Amino acid sequence: MWRPPHLPGRARTTAASGLLSDDVTVAPSPSPLRVRTRAVEDVGRLLDLLPDDRPLSWVRDGEGLVGWGEVARFTGTGAGRFAEADSWWRSFTARLDVRDDLQLPGTGAVAFASFTFADRSPGSVLIVPRVVVGRRDGHTWITEFAGDGVPAAMRRAMPVRAGGALHYDDGDMTVARYRRAVAEAVTRMQAGELDKAALAHDLLAVADEPLDPRFLLAGLAHHYPTCWAYSVDGLVGATPELLLRRDGDVVSSRVLAGTIWPGNDGVDIGAELMASAKDQREHAFAVDSLAATLRPHCTRLDLPTEPTILALHNVSHLSSDVRGELRDGASLLTLAASVHPTAAVGGTPRAAALKMIAELERMDRGRYAGPVGWVDAEGDGELGIALRCAQLDGNTARLFAGCGIVAESDPDTEVREAAAKLVAVREALEGSVTG
């Protein structure tokens, strides 16, 4: 049985490295805050550095960013939350005194971001960590804040702990209700009301003891190394889908829609997925919706002629990588406001799909299926779509899974697909995957 590192009995701390600090929340100071990024020797696995309280993560295949502590925070609600977050971040970074020895994406001042799926939902957040450690293309660095009210005290991290035995309870949207919602959506689509809607349901996992987000992160990162393992304000997951990456004038995205999971031995599920007219149609809606909302910002937008297969531990997806060159210098958060939600997690047409989602789900998704990732002071960064995730609250984890529904969808098949997608978080919570 695989277990993540640093469980009790195998404890390891990094206090001697001088990387861990007390977690505190400090309001932005009127006087300039100092930010310094410097190169460091390889510090090992990034996730192993995280303390137990409110860890921040955006890591894929051993590279990315982890952070802890809190210098400042933005929270927002409503349709203007992306613009308000962007304005707040610009204002905050304008007051900083920055020394960046590396000048790489992810160095200097960074905020971790997580936005709600729906405009009406509370909980969208930017968090500026006290300490960030990053790795990219062979470079490793640490970024630290200093200044009025920012502590410099170091502390020892607690060992990673498992949550003990788990039991599962219904969430707000039960499996039976989900099946009925899918059937109703199919009926409406066959009547011509809309083309696609992505419907979701939730599941509660309750542990004997408070859940440690690092335990879930470690399990997800171990078994899904090609996904982005993220943790922001209690939302923990591993997403295979990159909503947006901005690097200067270049913007890119990885669109996923159309899913299959292992079935009978000897069946080439990749070929089956590529041959599925239903899945190809669902995928085309997702690519077209991204292109339509991104194109006004771009002088050029490159779209693949056909999707490829992205094979993961539990499912495989149709995948398309999109790349564009910006014409207007729009920041990552401005771009996110334009493209979210794509048809991959919303539907087509967007307005009709969002109306149907609200009517049939009758639950608050929170930050599930919303943008999650990081942004830097130049407006660059990466945002994934918060999939394969759970919202942790003490002993309870609220898991989510959703499927794209089109007129050809079968309710029983969509229920099985959602269950297959829940496997990622369930196995990581249980620590029961062999590997």
Enzyme catalytic residues: 196, 241
| Displacement of CA 359 from its chain's centroid (Å) | 25
CB 21 within 8 A of CB 152: yes
Give the CA-trace dihedral at 392, 238, 400, 354, to 10 degrees. 120
Determine which helix (DSSP H) or strand (DSSP E) holds 197, and give its type and residue range: strand 196-207
Q: CA-based Rg of the chain, rounded to a whole angstrom?
A: 21
Tokens found for residue 258: 């159309």
Q: Is 340 helix (H, G, I), strand (E, B) or coil?
A: coil
Cis-peptide into 341, omega within 30 deg: yes
44 DSSP assignment: S
Q: Is the preceding omega at residue 122 within 30 degrees of 0, hence cis?
A: no
Nearest to 259 by CA among 409, 77, 138: 409
DSSP string, 58-118: EEETTEEEEEESBSEEEEE-STTHHHHHHHHHHHHHHTEEEEESS--TT-SSEEEEE--SS
Answer for the pair 358, 118: CB distance below 8 angstroms, yes or no: yes
Neighbours of 418 (CB within 10 A): 22
